[in-house]
Amino acid sequence: MSVDEKRGLIEFDNKELSIRRQCKLVGLRRSNLYYEPVEVSDETVRLMHRVDEIFTEYPFYGSRRIREALRREGFEIGRERVQAFMRQMGLRAIYPKGNLSKKQPGHKIYPYLLADIEITYPNQVWASDITYLRLRQGFVYLVAIIDWYSRYVLSWRISNTLDVSFCREALEEALGKGCPEIFNSDQGSQFTSSDFTGMLLSKEIAISMDGRGRVFDNIFTERLWRSVKYEEVYIKDYQVCRDAREGLEVYFSFYNNRRYHQALEYKTPYEVHYGVSCGNK
């Protein structure tokens, strides 16, 4: 159940159940109940969209190069503002560097477990990441969980906030389809939250988190984001969140079942993940 659906279940005039109790019963944080999206100016949205386009084409660009690209297009913008956009959008350039993402105080950071491990079968390693998706009048965040071996997208969710709840919903759905030996993510607060890691630990899944300065820890999700944006988002130009949700529903079905991957010997992620041929699907 999405956050919006849970909000719709809350009865503010219910005299028998307090708001706090209702939120607990439906699994909704009170901060999500009262959240109102902050209005973003058209200029800011336009700049964020362009930052996203530049980064998707050149994922090795950091804030300096993105600022220079924007300057040459006529945008007057400082590097600090570009850095702020990149943090807000969850963009990290692909080159060796210290980890610039802020950790949440009190959250446990788990070690990186995938060094020198060969990925040879489905459900050996799952990975998750978050990316920014543009809308005509704003933006949303997309989280996906992908099997490293088969490239199969097990689940995904979109949200207008970076709260842990939409990541937890995606994990719940994915775990309904199987269970990995190792789950890899970055050290973002959504993935280090006990709400998220607790679900993995309860299934005895080993937790792996990207180390400082590691370049290609989550390369498969980065490639997924590039495919999603070039093959769907930039073409469809979603107007509102509902358009994005409906468009992505169709796209991920195509990606899993009909998109042939050269790295998979031109099989689909579905065929590799479930070990079936096209004729047996």
Please tell me the total number of residues recorded for the chain in this structure: 281
Domain 125-274 belongs to what architecture?
A: 2-Layer Sandwich (3.30)
What per-residue confidence (pLDDT) applies to 45? Answer: 84
Per residue, the 3-state secondary structure of 190-252, as one string, reads HHHCHHHHHHHHHCCCEEEECCCCCCCCCHHHHHHHHHHHHHHHHHHCCCCHHHHHHHHHHHH
What per-residue confidence (pLDDT) applies to 37? Answer: 52
For 226, other C-beta atoms within 10 Å of its C-beta total: 15
What per-residue confidence (pLDDT) applies to 127? Answer: 95
pLDDT in tens, the chain (281 residues): 556 666 677 777 777 778 777 787 777 766 565 555 556 688 888 898 899 889 888 877 889 999 999 999 999 999 999 999 888 887 776 544 433 344 555 678 899 999 888 999 999 999 999 998 988 878 899 999 999 999 999 999 999 888 899 999 999 999 999 999 999 998 888 999 999 999 999 999 999 998 654 555 667 888 899 899 989 998 898 989 999 999 999 999 999 999 999 989 999 999 999 998 755 54
CA distances, 49 to each of 118, 132, 220, 230 (Å):
37, 9, 23, 13
Prediction pTM value:
0.71
Question: What type of residue is 6?
Answer: K
Q: In whole angstroms, what separates CA 42 from the centre of its chain?
A: 24
What per-residue confidence (pLDDT) applies to 46? Answer: 85
What per-residue confidence (pLDDT) applies to 279? Answer: 54
For 147, other C-beta atoms within 10 Å of its C-beta total: 25
What per-residue confidence (pLDDT) applies to 153? Answer: 98
CA distances, 273 to each of 81, 108, 247, 269 (Å):
42, 31, 23, 6
